[in-house]
């Protein structure tokens, strides 16, 4: 790094209207789509874990608060759930909207609600297009929550958003929220290229940078490099940077409990399995049941 | 840090003509002058250490390769040495040039050579204004060398500059070069506010950020905040960022030896004292004697 | 204008994926929507002129190559035409897509095709989603064509786009394309605030800047300032800049004829009326009939 | 010009400390030096005109308020005047300071005062380094004054600076101030490449852009392209942009009279000759005698 360079916290782009949008340049959205693969390539482990728990608790309506291009929402629609999908990035949403339009003849897709919404104003945003509604489940998966960085260095924004997720749940409803195993990533200076969520067929190299301020990790930048040129020599050069707040397991667990006023049932999974089954998991998935 | 911010590796400014210049915006140069204080405020420890060793080895001509505003060079001039001072930053040099003009009636100042020069082309730059000259001593002090960042991630530029320093020394000549104790700064996430070089009378807070890429510290950013408002409520708000490559003691020692082809006498001091006298020094000072 | 400012050719934002998009920041799209008003506020003169000529020539399918938020396309849909709407700006298109979704139960809206497309690759883009189709009419109205600036100073891009418009027309088909009366704007240094296309209820001030290079007008920048605070004191401050290439009537007429190889019927209207009826029109509308 | 480009009002660089400095990137200063040529190449017409009038009025002390690299000041020093030279650009001044240092053995150069100063605070700046001094003459030549752009669109800054020039003059003292013939440049869209001030030996092409806002010329940008590759194929590519406020002769004449409260003797010359001798001059030179 040279002295007149800057360390950009994301690939160039521009925030969506009033909202932070790391996908605003459109390229990230397209490359991301390639990275996560086709919707029928969701890993079986993920699908079984999510739909299994939803059914076990009788959940019928699901709010996907980080729907992105819509891939998880469509998996749930296809499995018979009623889904409301929101995202702050209109560059991501346009892929979801296109998919919905193409399948509008199917009743589930005709009823699929897709809207722009911002976690910081989530209850109000939902009130605008669905007055008086609460959900059986809220999902915030695929390491999405960590996109929210810690602007004020006191996690006030994260805390507010978690409370908003709790607020739009019905009593007894479930929140699914995950984050990468940042504790391990910081210790090892590396990020697993394979994902538990999707079967990406291309080799992926992830360069991991950690910014440590006054001794405290404040930002993790992942430079994804996806090489699809084996398959197509003219393939777009697929490099982009996404930045994350590196949630430690302990601190995140406490913050999540506090968002439910310490009264939710809180289960933590490691790569969709019991915590003690996976020695060094890639992801932690928290499932909260609102009382 | 928010997702659409960038982490600038220095205060805004612009490089000098073709050279990286972290002081190019002029403000840093002024604030830095305030930080390091008046020239008669150099610490006695520093002065005794430097002039003591120079005299012990019979050095008369000194090349100051990071003269900045000229404060160290003037200390040496006042102590009777012949000094040639260079810097890559013309914003820094203009303070040195002004000081020289004001004292041009004194023979030493009349003979003081001040020029812009770039470490990467140092022998050629010197050949331009002083053909055929080598020096009894070269000094590169005040953590100056660490300003050179590692653009190519293989330290090639640093290695070339160290060789250039060796080249402009006479046989038997001395190179003084230092760096902060980055090993300790990275471990502790903090930087000592007090300096061994100058007696800054203002309280100084230094926010320390470390960028760790693939597990390896690549950049340390120090945000200096100097509060002079006790003395003058209208004082300029003195904040600026300087970035450094975080040389570890072992790696720097090896790189320095290699620049002299492994044949120089290499002594290392801790805060101007023998290494074993200072448990956790702020600075390491290397003194190389060219064979 | 101060010496260290820059003259930005548009409000800040970022181009859509690979395409120049002056509306990329989203704000312009929202403000523009306010500026042009509701769809039922299209002026009667405009509607009568356009649909009158389309019906007179038996046109049934219309390609709107600059559909923006979809307002003109919806006017045509409501009047019974089959419409394909494209735009290069996905920030504009998302408003059109939303409108289409809300009225998807109406057959015309269900059949309304909306896609991203780029004038420079228009035939290929259309071939992607509608293979083998040509249109009875192409419209490029509302001063849209002048958004294309003259990057190479030889109008090569404009010429290519006009040829592409001609290519997607059936023989006998009509191209409607307009531009502001830049001849008059340059002479007078002012832009009429009222539009022939829409009934904007807010006072609009348009600051007109002309950049003249080597004696030739190369760019007109319009700074729109829309004051909606009478109605809502919390209204968004509606200022934005759009830049245009200032087509002169004579030069544009020649360029358009050349795009049809000099063989189209070319009629020019002034504010929807015969040329000689309007002494100083705000807009010129060209209607080309392909042979 | 493409829609996502910006029209920069100068070559990239950065303002000197708190002052607008179009030469801040250093490159412009070097290229400018090449453009204006060696000091012994000042045109005889210019030298005869300036020193003739200064001597005729018994002027001994001259303040050069736009000394740049010092070329005019040195011409005056060599002709026996006492000179104080100021400029806001430290990148320009460093060339003047170097020239002074090299000739410091000559008494005139030893006494030559060179300082950074800002026209907007000129009397105070001078009071700092020369308390209580007024001058027999002030010169502001070489189209320097037009570098001051019209940030507030009411010429308040220009008016203040002209008053400052008048204030530092002794009663009976002379102000020499010039500007290009912008009236003609705007009409013709072109700038004469030859200068009345210096004998540049290289071919110079000047691309002239005029920004007209609400019908009023507000900015002229000159893109200088100096081709020195005939002489040296490795010569630096000499292109840079300088921006000017396009003073009209009538408006500037009125503004200048007002700065002296309408009581100065005001003579206007065209290319150093009487106004009626030159049909289309390149420059107007105003000479004011303070009462």
pLDDT digits (tens, 9 = 90+) for A271-286: 999 999 999 999 999 9
Residue of B11, B97, B99 to mutate when probing chain D, most D C-beta within 10 A:
B97
Among B127-141, D140-154, D221-235, the range with the most confident prediction by mean pLDDT is B127-141
| Interface residue of D13, D29, D101, D112 to substitute, partner B, most B CBs within 10 Å | D101
Binding-site annotation, residues of A: 23, 32, 42, 66, 87, 118-119, 141
**Contact criterion met (CB below 8 Å) for C138 and C168:** yes
Lowest-confidence region among B253-267, C214-228, D188-202: D188-202
Show residues of chain A in contact with C97, CB under 8 Å: 94, 97, 101
DSSP per residue, chain D: --TT-EEESSSS---STTS--TTTTSHHHHHHHHHH--GGGB-HHHHHHHHHHHHHTT--EEEETT-TTSHHHHHHHHTT-EEEEEES-HHHHHHHHHHHHHTTTSHHHHT-EEEE--GGGHHHHHHHHSTT--EEEEEE-SS-GGGS--TTSS-HHHHHHHHHHHHTEEEEEEEEEEEE-HHHHHHHT---SS-SSB---S-EEEEEEEEEETTEEEEEEEEEEE--TTT-TT---EEEEEEE----HHHHHHHHHHHTTT-SEEEEEETTEEGGG-SS-SEEEEEEE--
Q: Which chains touch A (3 or more CB pairs under 8 A)?
A: B, C
C214 touches chain D (CB under 8 A): yes
Q: How confident is the model at residue B237, as a pLDDT?
A: 57
User: How much is the pLDDT for C186?
Assistant: 94
d(CA B189, CA B183): 10
DSSP-assigned beta bridge partners for residue A86: A115
Percent of chain D whose pLDDT exceeds 90: 66
Q: What single-letter DSSP state applies at residue B268? A: E
Specify the DSSP element, H or E, that contains B27: helix B27-36
Distance from CA of B172 to the nearest CA of A (A): 34
**Is it the case that residue B190 has pLDDT exceeding 50?**
yes
* pLDDT given at position D18: 33
Mean pLDDT along residues C89-94: 90
Q: Compute the mean pLDDT over every residue in chain A, rounded to the nearest whole number.
A: 86
Give the pLDDT confidence score for residue B15 in this predicted structure.
Answer: 30
Q: What is the pLDDT of residue A239?
A: 73
Q: State yes or no: is D197 an active-site residue.
A: no
Q: Which residue has the tokens 């289309």?
A: D280
Q: What is the DSSP string of C122-159?
A: HHHHHHHHSTT--EEEEEE-SS-GGGS--TTSS-HHHH
Per-residue pLDDT reduced to its tens digit, B147-166: 998 888 889 999 999 999 99
Helical spans, DSSP H, in A130-221: 156-167, 182-188
Residue C269 is a catalytic residue = no
Report CA A209 to chain centroid distance, whole Å. Answer: 20
Residue in the structure block whose two tokens are 């994926």: C17
Tokens 């806001």 belong to: D88
Residues 134-193 of D with CB under 8 A from B: none
| Chain-chain contact of A209 with B213 (C-beta, under 8 angstroms) | yes
Task: Express each pLDDT in B111-136 by its tens digit.
Answer: 999 999 999 999 999 999 999 999 99
pLDDT recorded at residue C22: 64
Does residue D235 have a pLDDT over 50? yes
Give the gap in angstroms from C-alpha B235 to the nearest C-alpha of chain D: 15
Cα(B39)–Cα(B142) distance, integer angstroms: 14
State the first-to-last Cα distance of chain C, in angstroms, to the nearest integer: 50
Beta bridge partners of B289: B174, B265
| Cβ–Cβ below 8 Å for D211 and C20 | no
Interval D197-206 mean pLDDT: 73
C87 a known binding residue? yes
Confidence bin at B240 (pLDDT 50/70/90): confident
Average pLDDT in chain B:
86
Note whether D touches A: 3 CB pairs or more under 8 A: no
What H or E segment, with its residue span, contains residue A20? Answer: none
Q: Which residues of D touch B25 (CB under 8 A)?
A: 14, 17
pTM of this prediction? 0.82
What pLDDT sits at residue D37?
A: 58
Q: Using an 8 Å Cβ cutoff, are D197 and D141 in contact?
A: yes
Q: What percent of chain B has pLDDT over 70?
A: 80
Q: How many CB atoms sit inside 10 A of residue C153's CB?
A: 11
Pick the closest to residue C173 from C59, C56, C49, C83 (CA basis): C59
Taking alpha carbons only, the member of D210, D204, D205, D203 closest to residue D189 is D210
Chain C nearest C-alpha distance from D118 (Å): 15
Tell me the pLDDT tens digit for each residue of C156-181: 999 999 999 999 999 999 999 999 99
Mean pLDDT throughout D103-119? Answer: 96
| Residue among D3, D213, D219 whose CB faces C147 most closely | D3
CB contact under 8 A, D9 and C22: no
Active site residue B266: no
Cβ distance C24 to A16 less than 8 Å, yes or no, reads no
Q: Which residues of B are annotated as a binding site for S-adenosyl-L-methionine?
A: 23, 32, 42, 66, 87, 118-119, 141
pLDDT at D14: 29
The reply to whether C98 touches chain D by the CB within 8 Å rule is no
Q: For A83-116, what is each residue's pLDDT tens digit?
A: 999 999 988 899 999 999 999 999 999 999 999 9
Contact B20 A3 (CB under 8 A): yes
The burial class, CB within 10 Å (0-12 / 13-18 / 19+), for B98 is middle
Q: Per-residue confidence at D234, pLDDT binned at 50, 70, 90? A: low
CA gap B243, B223 in Å, rounded: 9
Query: Model confidence over D117-146: pLDDT tens digits?
Result: 999 999 999 999 999 999 999 999 999 999
Which region among A177-186, A218-227, A260-269, C80-89 has the lowest average model confidence (pLDDT)?
Answer: A218-227
Active-site residue, C142 included:
yes
- How many contacts does C have with D, using Cβ atoms within 8 A? 112
CA distance D11 to chain B (A): 13
Asked if the C-beta of C111 comes within 8 angstroms of chain A's C-beta atoms, the answer is: no
Take residue C209 and report the two structure tokens written for it. Answer: 């800047």
Give tens-digit pLDDT for A11-35.
333 232 333 456 666 666 666 666 6
- Residues 54..93 of C with a Cβ closer than 8 Å to D: which? none
Summarize pLDDT for D250-274 with one digit per residue, the tens: 999 999 999 999 999 999 999 999 9
Residue B84 has pLDDT above 50, yes or no: yes
The pLDDT score that the predictor gives to residue D36 is: 62
Q: Which residues of D touch B30 (CB under 8 A)?
A: 17
Q: How far is CA B168 from CA A49, B162, B171, C124, in A?
A: 69, 10, 10, 64
**Which is the catalytic residue, given C13, C23, C197, C247?**
C23
Q: Which chain C residues are within 8 Å of A109, Cβ to Cβ?
A: none
State percent of chain B over pLDDT 90: 67
Whether the CB-CB separation of B108 and B99 falls below 8 Å is answered with no
Question: Which residue among C14, C94, C100 sits closest to A13, beta carbon to beta carbon?
Answer: C14
Alpha carbon distance B135, B112 (integer Å): 14
Report pLDDT digits (tens) over D54-84.
999 999 999 999 999 999 999 999 999 999 9
Q: Do chains C and D touch (3 or more CB pairs under 8 A)?
A: yes
Paired sense of beta strands B6-8 and A6-8, if any: antiparallel
B70: annotated active-site residue:
no
**Closest alpha carbon within chain A to B147:** A3
ipTM over 0.85? The verdict is no
Q: Which chains touch D (3 or more CB pairs under 8 A)?
A: B, C
Banded model confidence at residue D88, pLDDT cuts 50, 70, 90: very high
Here the contacts of A159-162 (C-beta below 8 Å, separation 24 or greater) are A159/A255, A159/A258, A159/A259, A160/A120, A161/A119, A161/A120, A161/A122, A162/A255, A162/A256, A162/A259
Residue numbers in the known binding site of A for S-adenosyl-L-methionine are 23, 32, 42, 66, 87, 118-119, 141
pLDDT at D197: 82
Do chains C and B meet with 3 or more Cβ pairs nearer than 8 Å?
A: no
Residues in Cβ contact with B97 at an 8 Å cutoff, skipping those fewer than 6 apart: B114, D94, D97, D101
pLDDT (0 to 100) of residue A35: 63
State the residue for tokens 């312009």.
C28
Question: Strand (E) positions, A50-203?
Answer: 61-64, 82-87, 113-116, 135-140, 169-180
Q: What is the pLDDT of residue C9?
A: 44
Number of inter-chain CB pairs under 8 A, A vs B: 111
Q: Which residues contact A70 (CB under 8 A, 6 or more apart)?
A: A85, A93, A95, A96, A99, A100, A114
User: What is the chain B residue with the closest CA to D91?
Assistant: B90
Contact residues, D window 22-51, toward B, CB-based 8 Å cutoff: 24-27, 30
**pLDDT averaged over every residue in chain D:** 86
Q: Do D209 and C213 touch (CB under 8 A)?
A: yes
What are C89's two structure tokens? 């700006």
Is there a contact between C211 and D210 if contact means CB atoms under 8 Å apart? yes
Residue D102 has pLDDT above 80, yes or no: yes
**What is the rounded average pLDDT of the residues D228-236?**
63
CA-to-CA separations, B198 to A17, A77, B38, D102, in angstroms, rounded? 50, 68, 8, 33
């Amino acid at each position: 790094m040279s002295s007149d360079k800057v360390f950009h916290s994301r690939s160039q782009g521009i925030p969506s209207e009033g909202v932070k949008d790391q996908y605003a340049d459109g390229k990230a959205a397209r490359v991301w789509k390639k990275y996560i693969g086709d919707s029928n390539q969701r890993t079986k482990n993920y699908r079984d874990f999510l739909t299994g728990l939803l059914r076990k608790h009788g959940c019928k309506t699901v709010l996907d608060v980080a729907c992105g291009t819509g891939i998880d929402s469509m998996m749930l629609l296809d499995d018979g759930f009623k889904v409301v999908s929101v995202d702050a990035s209109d560059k991501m949403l346009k892929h979801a909207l296109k998919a919905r339009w193409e399948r509008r003849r199917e009743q589930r897709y005709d009823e699929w609600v897709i809207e722009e919404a911002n976690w910081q104003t989530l209850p109000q945003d939902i009130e605008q297009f669905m007055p008086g509604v609460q959900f059986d489940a809220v999902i915030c998966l695929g390491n999405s929550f960590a996109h929210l960085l810690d602007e004020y260095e006191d996690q006030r924004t994260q805390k507010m958003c978690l409370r908003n997720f709790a607020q739009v749940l019905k009593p007894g409803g479930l929140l699914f929220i995950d984050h990468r195993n940042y504790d391990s990533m910081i210790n090892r200076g590396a990020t697993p290229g394979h994902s538990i969520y999707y079967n990406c067929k291309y080799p992926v190299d992830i360069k991991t940078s950690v910014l440590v301020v006054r001794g405290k990790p404040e930002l993790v930048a992942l430079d994804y490099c996806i090489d699809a040129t084996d398959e197509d020599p003219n393939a777009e050069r697929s490099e982009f940077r996404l930045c994350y707040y590196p949630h430690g397991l302990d601190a995140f667990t406490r913050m999540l409990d506090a968002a439910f006023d310490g009264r939710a049932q809180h289960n933590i999974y490691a790569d969709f399995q019991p915590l003690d089954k996976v020695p060094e998991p890639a992801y932690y998935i928290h499932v909260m049941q609102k009382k």
